[in-house]
Amino acid sequence: MKNSTKSLLFSGLILLIVTAYSFSTGLTTSVLKGTVRSKTDKEIIPGAVIELGQKIGEPVKRVMTDIDGHFEFKGINQGTYNLKINVIGYQTKEITNVQLEAGKTKTLIIELEETLTNLKEVLLHAPQKQDYKKSEAEEDKVFFQSLNTITSGNYIPCRTKTISEPFNTEQYDHMPENDFHATTDSPLSTFSIDVDPASYANVRRFINSGNLPPVDAVRIEEMINYFSYDYPEPKTNEPFSIITEHSTCPWNKDHQLVSIALQAKKIPMSQLPPSNLVFLLDVSGSMNSEDKLPLLKKSIGLLTNQLRPTDKVAIVVYAGNAGLVLPSTSGNDKATILQALDQLSAGGSTAGGAGIQLAYKIALENFIPNGNNRVILATDGDFNVGVSSDGELVRIIEGKRATGIFLTVLGFGTGNLKDSRMEKLADKGNGNYAYIDNIMEANKVLVKEAGGTLFTLAKDVKLQIEFNPQYVKAYKLIGYENRILQHRDFNDDKKDAGDLGSGHTVTALYEIVPAGSDDEFSKVDPLKYQPTQKVNTGNDEMLTVKFRYKDPQSETSKLITRVLAAKKVTPHDIASMNLRFAAAVAGFGLILRDSEHKGNADFKMVTSLARAAKGTDHSGDRAAFIQMVETAALLKENLSGK
């Protein structure tokens, strides 16, 4: 009996010790998860930062909501915790006394109240002028001396200082609008593709802030190509499919529209080659406002959450000089990458050239053969120290292009945005340019369309169209003003052109004046020695379009040719939903540019055309476009004093 009692006591003691050990080592822990959404419309909020800790401001852990607004903390010891939820466009929320029980999962639905600057329709304002308190050179010297000591796991934060920023020094290249060309004088049209969505987001930023955009900020092809279209994917081994269409022009019933479109193959993120990314981040004084560095950090954070273990990331920053904040780090170590981002703050002048040189150096040191090697430059484009002219910067980028490292440029901010510079850098760096005005746009560019943003399927894509004067009296390319190429450049593989990413769509529209029209376009006197009789080619070909492109690792182009047959077009013809919506966007661009060729285009025509072609609109982008057109109409009416 005594032995039985001792045995029972010993077993109980062992059980007590094991139980205590389990609790003390966290083997029985809690899970806290949930969803963050808007209190107003219940829509999910990606990119929200949730801090979990015993005290507000002293987090034990930090996570960010994913594309579906979800978050999760695992392995949390039981106890009482506080939460802090922060995201631009919504009021910061604090939740206290959250009880977590061992071995149980607690789920929260967190609703945030929108601020006046809700990021779906963000109203951006230029920062107030302030004076520097210290010499930029002194602060930069101290800061970058400390940066030189940075090693993995030991992050030294940038310092913050007040800045002096001009009210509005934004820069846009002057772009004279394309004119009509008589087919008999100039039967060829040659240009490079453009998949940059920057202009559309920037135009939206102006309109949402209560202003119509400057004419040169409106690049119609970028507005058209901001949207996705229901084009068929390629069925062959070619990286893209080719779609052509022909219909009536909505703003001039006597003219016609021709659409030439490309649909790149869609490759799931999981099947993309491993990525070697270098985040090149501007932390200069001009980035010291909520719509710049804080939004930049959240945007790059969204991309970080998409990284795979096969991917790797380094972070280079620049202010008065350039420095390495994070050596190349596995995409599996997201906490380390996010921690490095979180430490950054703004101050100092802007040595963008030095940053570019260092970023490409780091990318080359970690180069992945047959992988996706890319520098991602995030900035307002305001370079003012060292190499800073557009010409010098472009030459640096052109020199790096041969390394096989691509470039993505992300623009941020208002008041001093250097749009023209950033577009040039992306264009010459075998890359793309996006403007990010809110976290939803960051989610679109860096999460939903990450494949296209980060992975190039075909580079140096050029188009050359030959029009048949038997059917076309004159033609006008809508947009692409700064993508026009010399006709001889089409067959020259040394000439750079635009790049096509996974899932990208490209749409080019031509306004056509049919043969037999009374409209006159040739400003040249009749030629003395050339035949003047009507041309008859003996076929029904309206035009021939040729495409040249290179595989990402090749320097030799491939040629594809397609023919569009002529057909009789009447005002009663119903074009595809793709062409009708693209035409609506083009019409809006013509109005914003106050084009002499806008014909009968007005805001009412644009909204009517867009509504009829909105389609399923899963993303809501087309509905948002219609709302933006209506807002622009009100602004125009107010400005005209009607």
Topology of the domain comprising 26-118: Immunoglobulin-like (2.60.40)
Task: Give the tens place of pLDDT for each residue, 423-460.
Answer: 988 888 888 999 999 999 999 999 988 888 888 999 99
pTM of the model: 0.75
Band (pLDDT 50/70/90 cuts) for residue 20 is: very low
CB atoms < 10 A from the CB of 120, how many? 16
Task: Dump pLDDT digits (tens) for 62-104.
Answer: 787 876 788 888 888 888 999 888 775 678 899 999 999 888 9
Greatest distance between any 2 Cα atoms in the chain: 129
pLDDT in tens, 264-315: 999 988 889 999 999 999 988 889 888 999 999 999 999 999 999 999 999 9
Helix orientation angle between 621-640 and 577-592, rounded to the nearest 10 degrees? 30
Q: Name residue, tokens 């899963």.
A: 618
Residue with token string 């087919």: 183
pLDDT band at 33 (very low <50, low <70, confident <90, very high): very high
Q: Do 318 and 381 touch, CB atoms closer than 8 A?
A: no
- CA Rg value for the chain: 28
Judged against a pLDDT cut of 50, whether residue 131 lies above it is answered with: no
362: closest CA among 407, 411, 310, 324?
324
pLDDT at 133 over 50: no
Q: What are the residue ranges spanned by the domains of the chain?
A: 26-118, 181-195+216-266+457-523+535-603, 269-453
Please say whether the beta carbons of 258 and 248 come within 8 A: no
Rounded Cα distance between 118 and 110, Å, is 17
Closest CA relative to residue 341, chosen from 301, 378, 392:
301
Q: Are 246 and 256 contacting, i.e. CB atoms less than 8 angstroms apart?
A: yes
Q: Is residue 520 over pLDDT 90?
A: no
Most confident of 364-378, 382-396, 417-431: 364-378
Q: What angle do CA 335, 336, 342 make, to 5 degrees?
A: 85
The CATH fold of domain 269-453: Rossmann fold (3.40.50)
Q: Do strands 558-565 and 541-550 pair parallel, antiparallel, or not at all (unpaired)?
A: antiparallel
What's the pLDDT band for 537 if we cut at 50, 70, 90? Answer: low
Residue 244's beta-bridge partner residues? 260
Q: d(Cα 225, Cα 434) in Å, to the nearest integer?
A: 12
Mean predicted confidence (pLDDT) in 519-542:
72
* Closest-CA residue to 339 (of 368, 287, 300): 300
Percent of the chain past pLDDT 90, that is, above it, reads 52
Cβ atoms within 10 Å, residue 58: 10
Confidence of residue 14 (pLDDT cuts 50, 70, 90): very low
What's the mean pLDDT when you consider all of the chain? 83
The answer to whether residue 19 scores a pLDDT higher than 60 is no
Q: How far apart are CA 577 and CA 583, in angstroms?
A: 10
Whether residue 116 has pLDDT greater than 80? no
The CA-based angle 539-542-543, given to 5 degrees, is 110
pLDDT band of 603, cuts 50, 70, 90: very high
What is the rounded distance in angstroms from the CA atom of residue 96 to the CA atom of residue 501? 45
Segment 513-526 shows an average pLDDT of 80
* Closest listed residue to residue 297, CA positions, set 439, 121, 431: 439
Which range among 28-37, 129-138, 541-550, 564-573 has the greatest average pLDDT?
541-550
- Per-residue confidence band for 160, with pLDDT thresholds at 50, 70 and 90: very low
Residue 121 clears pLDDT 70, i.e. is over it: no
In 3D space, the residue among 543, 565, 560 whose CA is nearest the CA of residue 466 turns out to be 543
Measured between alpha carbons, how far is 57 from 71 in angstroms, rounded to an integer? 19
Contact yes or no for 140/481 (Cβ under 8 A): no
**What per-residue string of b and e applies to 484-515 under the rule 16 or more CB within 10 Å gives b?**
ebeeebbeeeebbbbbbbbbbbbbbbbbbbbb
Indicate if the pLDDT at residue 236 is higher than 50: yes
Tokens describing residue 379:
């900035």
Pairing of strands 49-55, 79-86: antiparallel
Average pLDDT over residues 474-485: 96
Same CATH topology for 26-118 and 181-195+216-266+457-523+535-603: the answer is: yes
Per-residue pLDDT band at 323 (split at 50, 70, 90)? confident
- Which of 121-135, 238-252, 316-330, 334-348 bottoms out in mean pLDDT, i.e. has the lowest? 121-135
Banded model confidence at residue 514, pLDDT cuts 50, 70, 90 = very high
The model's pLDDT over 34-68, given as tens digits with 9 standing for 90+, comes to 999 888 878 888 777 788 887 655 556 778 787 67
> The domain 181-195+216-266+457-523+535-603 is classified under which CATH number: 2.10.60.10, 2.60.40.1120, 2.60.40.1230, 3.10.20.600?
2.60.40.1230
